[in-house]
Amino acid sequence: MQLIDGKALAQKVEKYVETEVEKLKQEKNIVPGLAVILVGDDPASHAYVKMKAKACEKVGFYSITHHMPETISQDEIIGTIEMMNTNPRIDGILVQLPLPKQIDTAKILEVIDPKKDVDGFHACNVGRLVTGLDSFVACTPLGVMKMFEEYKIDLKGKDVCVVGASNIVGKPMASLLLNANATVTITHIFTKDLKAHTSKADIIVVGTGVPGLIKEDMVKEGAIVIDIGINRIADGSLVGDVDFEHVAPKCSFITPVPGGVGPMTIAMLLSNTLKSAQQRS
């Protein structure tokens, strides 16, 4: 069993981004810029945005966070996004989800200029991904693909079971895997017999937010397990969607939680923002 070290790989990606940023500054006088919209006072969202700001600073990006009150109107958020769409210093626009109930998330995401949609959630980028065209791809699935590449895991012809069908993780993950010529099964909350699908899979990618959902008897010997879930349980510790202790011994590769997919999400956000700045240049 080999652990996939997301932390080490994320540092490698960040180092590459830092080098490219220096090059952009010297050759084109361009500093990549990332703008984040944060609505309300959700502690998890605040912690995540803080981590993003710190990562931006580390690689030499210009970054700004628009912190808005929980009671903000949809039109005010749209106005801020439109302003950033035309701001030449901003290469990436990110709206921290979830948004308050009074806001139509789909409408907000549609306002972002697809060329600055570094989270890869705009319908234009999603469509380009599905059709195999170059696009901005959601950061977490993109990070998983980077892991496969780093650990030389060949996806061609592999049976992959994606557990969870969210727009942010499951669906883009399935599209990326299909584009890499894997055979993909997507399971979700209404799937009748989850074990029947996972136990046949060469690779399981799970992101549901259900602690310990994937048990030892649901995984075949030698499988590769990618755990995207991150859950804080009663004792305060962080765990994934996989019963790591019992599943890990059966795997050829597995990601730990924390230290697996998590660090890759921010690394890919930096990578996408750099890509946008390079296209601007």
* Coil, helix or strand at residue 192: coil
Q: Which residue has the tokens 């599209």?
A: 175
Marked catalytic residue, from 5, 96, 117, 158? 96
Which sign does the torsion angle of CA 203, 209, 211, 215 carry? negative
Catalytic choice (5, 91, 117, 119): 119
Q: What is the maximum span of the chain, computed from C-alpha positions, in angstroms?
A: 57
For the chain, how big is the Rg over CA atoms in Å? 19
Active site residue 42: no
Task: Select which of 52, 116, 146, 171 is catalytic.
Answer: 52
Task: Enumerate the H helices of the chain as residue ranges.
Answer: 6-28, 43-59, 74-85, 105-111, 123-130, 139-150, 170-179, 194-198, 244-247, 261-280
| CA 24/CA 44 separation, integer angstroms | 33
What per-residue confidence (pLDDT) applies to 65? 96
- Residue 149: the pLDDT is 98
DSSP 199: T
Q: What is the pTM (predicted TM-score) of this model?
A: 0.95
CA dihedral 103, 107, 110, 113 (to 10 degrees): -50
Look at residue 26 in the predicted model and tell me its pLDDT: 97
Tell which residue, 115, 114, 96, has the closest CA to residue 105: 96
**Domains observed in the chain:** 29-122 (3.40.50.10860), 139-262 (3.40.50.720)
The predicted pLDDT at position 44 comes to 86
Q: What is the pLDDT along the chain (281 residues), one digit of tens a residue?
A: 999 999 999 999 999 999 999 999 999 999 999 999 999 998 889 999 999 999 999 999 999 999 999 999 999 999 999 999 999 999 999 999 999 999 999 999 999 999 999 999 999 999 999 999 999 999 999 999 999 999 999 999 999 999 999 999 999 999 999 999 999 999 999 999 999 999 999 999 999 999 999 999 999 999 999 999 999 989 989 999 999 999 999 999 999 999 999 999 999 999 999 999 999 87
- Catalytic annotation present for 52: yes
Tokens of 15: 């180092």
The reply to whether 96 belongs to the active site is yes
Instruction: Give 204's strand partners.
Output: 161, 225
**Strands, sheet with 159-163, edge to edge from the N-terminal-most edge strand:** 2-3, 253-254, 224-227, 203-206, 159-163, 183-187
The CB density around residue 56, as the number of other CB atoms within 10 Å, is 24
Q: What is the DSSP letter of 220?
A: -
CA dist 154 and 235 (Å) reads 38
